């Protein structure tokens, strides 16, 4: 029995783990890398055709966004997820495919002008559509026997509608191991989402550590604080820009803004307008308000029963087309704009940032984790006086707010409570889904509490009985190196990165080829590496 770490290993995005038992390979999550900061890109370090099943913890893109690529490259098995996750994936993956196609088109236009080869999208809408027939919607708390060596159950993780821990039982030669994958662990008291459950037993735990090094402010009244920012900004004639994950964070923001309006907290402009500028967020909000209401928490259900729509209020405007979105930039009426992507690395939000970042009277409100290397992180860190958007240098002069309390991730205290809830200490805890230092520190903290804890490296493989590594994995690129490489990230360098990614893909496609051919290929790559390794 083995476990491999193919993503979110000493970084936050790209969740992807693989267990092997009884000759079967099961992938847990298949997320997109955001910020591209491990230096390994989106290529899989395995052959998708060799995976038997996939289990998805929740619909967020960093846990699901490479499913279309997996199918495109030969995966043919079933993909198990909770019923709400399946519904949200339908939206999420179409949107992601659309973004991939648009970005490739955009980059190719520039490349064509420069005489360079065009860029193929990572995957297309056609690839995304091939994922949906493979989805198997599952209920919470029901054991699913995939085959004689693998069974599992979903337990509510309280992080997003449909989010789950995966409790998995692996059997090989009469040995049974229970492995729990935490996915993303939620926090108590979030609007609409149920509080996270706990798990009692596990032999092995693979747990996230996004906020493993800090605690959120628990006394923070999000509605009141948000109202203050809106009031102050609109009074100055500025806009409040909210980069927001289309699924989850956006609905939470709408919930708070409805409360702001109900409590009359923005006195100078009580009828302020709120533009929801994301087709994906619009579709997800509809799901939250209609099909998925059974999965909401009791408070939200009670609101609905008394005739209140938790996500609807006067002054909410839905922006449909990209043209309407651009037109918002010419309208000088102070307003609130909620748009995606949440980490500002794609989508319509980038236009709004271009038109508002340089205006000192405006404000940008972040509500979710910003991964290293994303534009959102660069802005939140406040280390730059300008950013590059659509080939233009844009000064950062507006107010920047980071509402960490809105994060639906457990903080350090929550994570420790979650792991200490197990009746008996698991034999081993693998700490993942956190930045390099955070993973290492959180693992050390667990070791101090007498746990066996490991912060595995990217592509490392461990024995699930002895916890000895078969392969130690690859060292992440150091941040200082990355910063240097970021500065010289010229289009030609990017092309080189893509060429490298393609090489990895070509290698995986040659698996099973004749030894002589493979050796020749390896010799050629070695020769090339030797030439350029300086």
Binding site for Zn ion (CB under 5 A): 60, 62, 184
SS3 269: coil
Helix (H) or strand (E) holding 500: helix 491-509
Which residue pairs, CB below 8 angstroms and at least 24 apart, start in 469-477? 470/2, 473/5, 473/9, 474/40, 476/10, 476/11, 476/37, 476/38, 476/39, 476/436, 477/37, 477/38, 477/39
Cβ proximity of 238 and 464 under 8 Å? no
| Closest C-alpha among 206, 215, 212, 214 to residue 440 | 212
Between 240 and 410, name the residue whose CB sits nearer to Zn ion.
Answer: 410
Are the C-beta atoms of 182 and 157 separated by less than 8 Å? yes
Nearer to Zn ion, 11 or 184 (CB): 184
Can the peptide bond before residue 341 be classed as cis, meaning omega within 30 degrees of 0? Answer: yes
Which residue's entry shows tokens 């060429």?
499
Q: How far is the CB of 159 from Zn ion (least distance, A)?
A: 5
Supply the minimum distance, in Å, between the C-beta of residue 323 and Zn ion: 32
Phi, psi of 334 (to 5 degrees): -60, 140
Closest CB to Zn ion among residues 238, 347: 347
- 362 vs 455, which CB is nearer to Zn ion? 455
Q: How far is the CB of 229 from Zn ion (least distance, A)?
A: 24
Mention every residue, 6+ apart, whose C-beta is less than 8 A from residue 67. Answer: 30, 54, 56, 79, 89, 93, 128, 131
Token duo for residue 297: 């928490």
- Give the nearer residue to Zn ion in terms of CB position, either 343 or 362: 343
Q: Minimum distance from CB of 60 to Zn ion (Å)? A: 4
Of 371 and 446, which CB lies nearer to Zn ion in the complex structure? Answer: 371
Q: Which is nearer to Zn ion, 184 or 435 (CB)?
A: 184
Closest approach of Zn ion to the CB of residue 148, in Å = 31
CB of 33 to Zn ion, least distance (A): 12
The helix/strand/coil state of 143 is coil
- Cβ at position 161, least distance to Zn ion in Å: 11
Least distance (Å) between residue 453 CB and Zn ion: 20
Round to whole Å and give the CA distance between 409 and 209.
Answer: 9
Residue with tokens 């708390």: 141
Asked if residues 457 and 10 have their Cβ atoms less than 8 Å apart, the reply is yes
Query: Least distance (Å) from Zn ion to the CB of residue 408?
Result: 7
SS3 readout for 144-161: EEEECCEEEEEEECCCCC
Q: Closer CB to Zn ion, residue 31 or residue 347?
A: 31
Cβ 376 to Zn ion shortest distance, Å? 15
Query: Could you say which DSSP state residue 24 is in?
Result: E
Of 343 and 379, nearer to Zn ion (C-beta) is 343
Toward Zn ion, which CB reaches closer, 62 or 95?
62
Q: In the complex, which residue's CB is closest to Zn ion? A: 60
Distance in angstroms (rounded) separating the CA atoms of residues 285 and 276: 10
């Amino acid at each position: 029995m083995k476990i491999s770490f193919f993503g979110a290993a000493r970084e936050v995005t790209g969740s992807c783990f693989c267990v092997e038992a009884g000759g079967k390979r099961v992938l847990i999550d298949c997320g997109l890398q955001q910020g591209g900061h491990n230096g390994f890109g989106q290529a899989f370090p395995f052959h998708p055709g060799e995976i038997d099943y996939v289990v998805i913890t929740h619909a967020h893109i960093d846990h699901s966004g490479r499913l279309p690529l997996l199918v495109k490259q030969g995966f043919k098995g079933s993909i198990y997820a909770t019923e709400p996750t399946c519904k949200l994936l339908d939206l999420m993956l179409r949107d992601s495919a659309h973004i991939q196609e648009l970005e490739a088109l955009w980059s190719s236009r520039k490349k064509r002008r420069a005489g360079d080869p065009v860029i193929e999208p990572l995957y297309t809408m056609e690839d995304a559509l091939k994922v949906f027939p493979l989805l198997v919607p599952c209920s919470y708390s029901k054991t699913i026997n995939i085959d004689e060596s693998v069974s599992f159950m979903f337990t509510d993780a309280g992080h997003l509608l449909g989010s789950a821990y995966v409790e998995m039982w692996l059997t090989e030669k009469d040995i049974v191991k229970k492995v729990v994958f935490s996915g993303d662990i939620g926090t108590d008291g979030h609007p609409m989402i149920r509080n996270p459950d706990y798990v009692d037993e596990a032999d092995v735990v693979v747990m996230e550590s996004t906020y493993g090094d800090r605690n959120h402010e628990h006394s923070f009244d999000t509605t009141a604080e948000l109202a203050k920012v809106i009031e102050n900004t609109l009074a100055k004639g500025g806009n409040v820009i909210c980069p927001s994950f289309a699924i989850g964070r956006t609905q939470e923001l709408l919930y708070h803004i409805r409360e702001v309006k109900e409590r009359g907290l923005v006195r100078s402009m009580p009828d302020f307008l709120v533009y929801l500028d994301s087709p994906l967020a619009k579709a997800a909000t509809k799901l939250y308000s209609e099909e998925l209401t059974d999965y909401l928490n009791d408070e939200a259900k009670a609101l609905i029963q008394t005739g209140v729509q938790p996500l609807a209020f006067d002054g909410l405007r839905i922006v449909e087309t990209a043209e309407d979105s651009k037109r918002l930039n010419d309208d000088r009426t102070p307003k609130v704009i909620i748009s995606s992507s949440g980490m500002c690395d794609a989508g319509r939000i980038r236009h709004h940032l271009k038109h508002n970042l340089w205006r000192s009277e405006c404000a940008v409100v972040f509500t979710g984790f910003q991964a290293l290397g994303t534009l959102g992180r660069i802005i939140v860190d406040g280390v730059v006086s300008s950013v590059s958007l659509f080939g233009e240098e844009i000064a950062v002069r507006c107010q920047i707010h980071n509402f960490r309390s809105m994060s639906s991730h457990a903080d350090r205290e929550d994570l420790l409570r979650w792991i200490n809830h197990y009746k008996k200490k698991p034999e081993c805890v693998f700490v993942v889904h956190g930045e390099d230092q955070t993973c290492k520190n959180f693992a050390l903290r667990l070791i101090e509490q007498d746990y066996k804890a490991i912060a595995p490296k990217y592509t490392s493989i461990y024995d699930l009985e002895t916890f000895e590594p078969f392969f130690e994995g690859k060292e992440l690129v150091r941040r200082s190196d990355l910063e240097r490489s970021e500065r010289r990230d010229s289009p030609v360098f990017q092309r080189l990165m893509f060429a490298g990614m393609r090489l990895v893909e070509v290698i995986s496609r040659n698996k099973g080829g004749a030894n002589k051919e493979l050796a020749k290929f390896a010799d050629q790559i070695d020769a090339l590496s030797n030439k350029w390794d300086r």
